[in-house]
Structure 1
């Protein structure tokens, strides 16, 4: 059976759009119908460099993409400060919205986006790619296994990379007018989502930012960490533009441990690794048993699986078989709520800040 291809429009030519546009072309149920940029020349070059179909339309503005009747859904990789405007307009024009993370500057803005999507009956999803890798489901099975893992006691995640060259001066991620959340929105988003995922999306009672977060002269976060208050558990994360590349997640249970060193983007595109050990003991020569390595393979990269799932939800809406799936807006909102609380804790002198959904 031939799948219906959901026709994507892309607004903006950010580097991440190269990866997602490739994913749209790899996915069996999606295609690229249009792209828009602030200049026709930039959009034309982007389409050519990334192998867009000859039928793809190229526009020198964003509105034309959203007005195109041959566009079913829109991918928005614009700077975070522009998400509110363009995601709302897209929803009002009945385009389903795949929105790059962080999805908004704050939860108030996100609520306006989600309200627009709900009012128009369109699907919303954020572009957190690792959520769609089959490894993610397998790791969750480990955390849920009482015999193998037991009760979760401690959880820690790190997401970092060094911003090279003129990154710390000119990149949009450190521009307070474009992406004021900085490293917290860019890399902290992944760690916070991983923590929520591991804890069945239960929000912490409070969060406390770790002292001496590093901010630039415009107040954009370059590096920070936080402790999330879950009763009976130690839960922390660290994110940075100043530390060597790291995307680690470590979960410690009463009977076992889980470690993954590349949870955001697998080191190998079609293979996701993770490590599990249960009932460990010290012996004379070291640890017994040694951690077991698991490899989860996939034919399509996780970003293609993401757009494939998004398109499947869109097709069900178009066929009248379903309404927009509410799971994805809920996950985005909870992640944003925690980010907002961490920002508030930093601004309040690193005092604990209550998390309110």
Structure 2
């Protein structure tokens, strides 16, 4: 599908953690994982946003006000808005306190992509998504024309097995065929971390705008 001009991305990853998790998991301990939900669930949200914009870094970020922290000061729910120089925006929210949700919505002038399980699929070997192209109101505003279409990507193996398989292929290529390590993955990882650090800085500075420095 063609978005023509990409305008807005929204991503959300939440799960309702039980009391044992909220008290004892390393992701809520300031000396073990001080970024809390931002470093865990927020990472996926930010990576999904960057994927949608072909890994173009935003110009600046502004954290959403009133994040939730535990008694140790670790984030357990937060979000932010990302801004690009050409007018694109993206918003994400991540939480250890809300029902399991993994939504990604990408909106352009001529199309919309919606994925409702973008991290862990509903089923192990399939991944659904829906696409709407050049949508408009039906006559008398009684529906959509055309309606979004639903698609399912299927695999023979679970995504975790495919990840290990691909890793082995890359390592084997380096060992046996003189291939070089792919630079794409560390570059993408660094960009994700740069945005996440900017979000944390915005929270710490009272939700001020923070420039994203590549």
User: Which of 168, 174, 195 lines up with 2:22 in the alignment?
Assistant: 168
The TM-score with structure 2 as length reference comes to: 0.96
Are residues 1:195 and 2:49 paired? yes
1:161 and 1:185 map into 2 onto residues whose CA distance is 14
Question: 1:252 matched to which residue of 2?
Answer: 107
Are residues 1:240 and 2:127 paired? no
- Moved >3 Å (runs of 4+): none
User: Which of 170, 180, 186 lines up with 2:34 in the alignment?
Assistant: 180
| Residues 158-307 of structure 1 mapped to structure 2, 5 A cutoff | 158-230=12-84, 231-283=86-138, 284=140, 285-307=142-164
Could you tell me how far 1:305 is from its partner in structure 2?
1.0
Question: 1:98 matched to which residue of 2?
Answer: none
Structure 2, unpaired ranges of 5+: none
1:275 and 1:206 map into 2 onto residues whose CA distance is 30
2:174 and 2:136 map into 1 onto residues whose CA distance is 52
2:59 and 2:160 map into 1 onto residues whose CA distance is 32
Could you tell me how far 1:320 is from its partner in structure 2?
4.1
Could you tell me how far 1:346 is from its partner in structure 2?
0.5
Instruction: For residues 177-200 of structure 1, give each alpha carbon's deviation from its aligned partner in whole angstroms, at most 9, with x where no partner exists.
Output: 111111111101111000111101
SS of alignment partner, residue 189 of structure 2: helix
Q: Which of the pair has more CA radius of gyration?
A: 1
The CA RMSD measured in Å over matched residues stands at: 1.0
1:301 and 1:311 map into 2 onto residues whose CA distance is 16
Could you tell me how far 1:165 is from its partner in structure 2?
2.8
1:308 and 1:219 map into 2 onto residues whose CA distance is 39
Q: Structure with the greater relative contact order (CA < 8 A, sep ≥ 6): 1 or 2? A: 2
Question: 1:339 matched to which residue of 2?
Answer: 196
| Residues 54-73 of structure 1 mapped to structure 2, 5 A cutoff | none
Could you tell me how far 1:161 is from its partner in structure 2?
0.5
Could you tell me how far 1:170 is from its partner in structure 2?
1.0
| Number of residue pairs matched by the alignment | 211
1:202 and 1:281 map into 2 onto residues whose CA distance is 30
